[in-house]
């Protein structure tokens, strides 16, 4: 009986050491990336409002969150509540330059782009 007790106490101590180790490792994770983007977690108030609104028209079971593409930068996107999320998929490979790359935003806001988009295309 004493051996079982010693074994269980040993397991409990080992588990406590792992928890302390994990907690210290979590505390060491930077809350700000090298490029200055702050990693935050906010309440999901805006997401809930959008989800309720969309649910009046269709099922929202497959919708995980709503993205605010205007505030997204580089390989980080923001949800509608302002939470910054690292996009590990790069938008499925379509965003190799990331969200709102400065050169692309500059090119799209140029008059050359407007001229290109507004030109008539002849299909004959």
Rounded to an integer, what distance in angstroms lies between the CA atom of residue 68 and that of residue 81? Answer: 9
Edge to edge, the sheet with strand 67-73 lists 67-73, 76-79, 84-86
Rounded to an integer, what distance in angstroms lies between the CA atom of residue 107 and that of residue 26? Answer: 41
76, 37 Cβ separation under 8 angstroms: yes
> CA dist 83 to 19, 43, 48, 74, 121, Å?
27, 9, 14, 15, 42
* Residues 45-94 pLDDT 10s: 888 888 888 888 888 888 888 888 888 888 888 888 888 888 888 777 77
Helix (H, G, I), strand (E, B) or coil at 119: coil
- For tokens 């928890």, the residue is 19
What is the mean pLDDT of the segment spanning 3-27?
76
Cα 87 from chain centroid? 5
* Residues 99-112 pLDDT 10s: 888 888 898 888 88
Helices within the chain (DSSP H only)? 2-28, 45-55, 102-108, 111-118
């Amino acid at each position: 009986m004493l051996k079982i007790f010693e074994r269980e106490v040993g397991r409990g101590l080992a588990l406590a050491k792992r928890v302390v180790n994990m907690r210290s490792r979590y505390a060491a994770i930077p809350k700000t990336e090298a490029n200055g983007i702050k990693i935050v977690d906010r309440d999901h108030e805006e997401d809930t409002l959008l989800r309720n609104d969309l649910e009046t028209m269709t099922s929202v079971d497959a919708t995980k969150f709503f993205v605010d593409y205007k505030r997204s930068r580089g390989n980080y996107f923001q949800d509608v509540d302002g939470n910054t999320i690292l996009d590990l998929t790069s938008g499925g490979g379509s965003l190799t330059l990331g969200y709102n790359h400065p050169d692309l935003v500059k090119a799209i806001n140029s008059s050359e782009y407007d001229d290109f988009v507004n030109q008539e295309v002849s299909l004959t």
